[in-house]
């Protein structure tokens, strides 16, 4: 077993279902493992890859393929990335979430042609023909010059059926905000692209942006989540992002009327990922 394997000690009965299927692990790794990885987390300049005009509270990513080839990524981090984009990690995700996927996407296995347990998993960017592509990414949210949210309430793209975050908060970060917020629909789901109108949802749960915390969840139209506004700070927000991406559209997002979508996009931003 990979030493820094997340989820290996989690059981299906640990999955929470309100407001949607998710798992929260505090102290997800041993203190010693976590401290070694945290000490080797690449600095903002490395993840920015030479860019200098970064903007306030923007997300910068280093995906698995780039991290594995980068000379400033440590051997321990490369082993972490290799494992968490591997069939072994996929088997743990399936062990925990397959039943929830079958509820959310009852025809997905038939469309792909095999059961979740038999899907062929490869790291994203390492070839076509897989049933699911996995990514493991370094992510930083840049320093904040004006209090703001890096992601207002939304769901992830329709080809992603599983998303997870592993928080690696810098001990020098004393600012408020940056917590994960989970929401419940108050009416039938409707979207402005992938974002959600605030009056359509209610806040249910907050997962603190705390070090050594792992949060994983089924991504579906029910999985509305966002990030609480971050205070002004010179310290980046740090985490690892995990993705399971399928080669088909797993679900559809019913859209609001075009005028309302335009109006909300001008205020909340209209990016996608």
Which CATH number goes with the domain that contains 79?
2.60.120
Beta-bridge mates of residue 61: 139
Would the pLDDT of 3 be above 70?
Answer: no
- Look at the chain and report how many structural domains it folds into: 1
Q: Cα–Cα distance between 216 and 245 in angstroms, integer?
A: 14
Beta-bridge mates of residue 237: 141
135 is a domain residue: yes
Would the pLDDT of 259 be above 70?
Answer: no
> With 0-12 CB in 10 A as exposed, 13-18 as middle and 19+ as buried, what is 96?
buried
128 is a domain residue: yes
103 is a domain residue: yes
Q: Where are the beta strands (DSSP E) in 220-267?
A: 225-227, 237-245
In this predicted model, what pLDDT tens digit does every residue of 103-137 receive, in sequence order?
999 999 999 999 999 999 999 988 777 999 999 99
184 is a domain residue: yes
3 is a domain residue: no
Domain of residue 180: give its range: 17-268
Banded model confidence at residue 262, pLDDT cuts 50, 70, 90 = low
User: Which residue in 79, 97, 41 sits closest to 223, CA to CA?
Assistant: 97
pLDDT for residue 1: 42
pLDDT for residue 101: 98
pLDDT for residue 33: 94
User: Which residue in 233, 236, 231 sits closest to 177, CA to CA?
Assistant: 231
25 is a domain residue: yes
In this predicted model, what pLDDT tens digit does every residue of 166-213 receive, in sequence order?
999 999 999 999 999 999 999 999 998 889 988 999 999 999 999 999
191 is a domain residue: yes
- Total-model pTM: 0.92
259 is a domain residue: yes
């Amino acid at each position: 077993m990979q030493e820094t394997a997340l989820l290996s000690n989690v059981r299906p009965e640990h999955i929470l279902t309100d407001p949607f299927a998710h798992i929260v692990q505090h102290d997800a790794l041993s203190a010693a493992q976590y401290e070694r990885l945290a000490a080797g987390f690449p600095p903002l300049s490395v993840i920015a890859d030479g860019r200098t005009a970064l903007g306030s509270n923007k997300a910068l990513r280093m995906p698995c393929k780039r991290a594995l080839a980068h000379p400033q990524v440590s051997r321990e981090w490369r082993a972490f990335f290799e494992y968490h984009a591997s069939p072994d990690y996929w088997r743990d995700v399936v062990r925990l979430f397959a039943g929830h996927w079958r509820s959310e996407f009852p025809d997905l296995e038939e469309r792909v042609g095999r059961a979740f347990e038999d899907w062929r998993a490869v790291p994203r960017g390492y070839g076509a023909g897989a049933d699911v592509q996995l990514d493991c990414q370094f992510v930083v949210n840049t320093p904040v010059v004006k209090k703001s949210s890096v992601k207002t309430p939304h769901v992830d793209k329709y080809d992603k059926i599983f998303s997870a975050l592993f928080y690696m908060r810098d001990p020098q970060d004393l600012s408020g905000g940056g917590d994960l917020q989970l929401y419940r629909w108050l009416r039938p789901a409707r979207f402005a692209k992938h974002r959600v109108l605030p009056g359509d949802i209610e806040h249910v749960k907050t997962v603190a942006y705390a070090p050594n915390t792992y949060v994983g969840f089924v991504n579906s139209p029910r999985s509305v989540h966002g990030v609480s506004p971050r205070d002004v700070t010179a310290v980046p927000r740090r985490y690892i992002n995990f993705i399971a991406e399928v080669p088909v559209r797993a679900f559809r997002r019913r859209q609001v009327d075009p005028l309302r979508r335009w109006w909300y996009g001008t205020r909340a931003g209209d990016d996608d990922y």
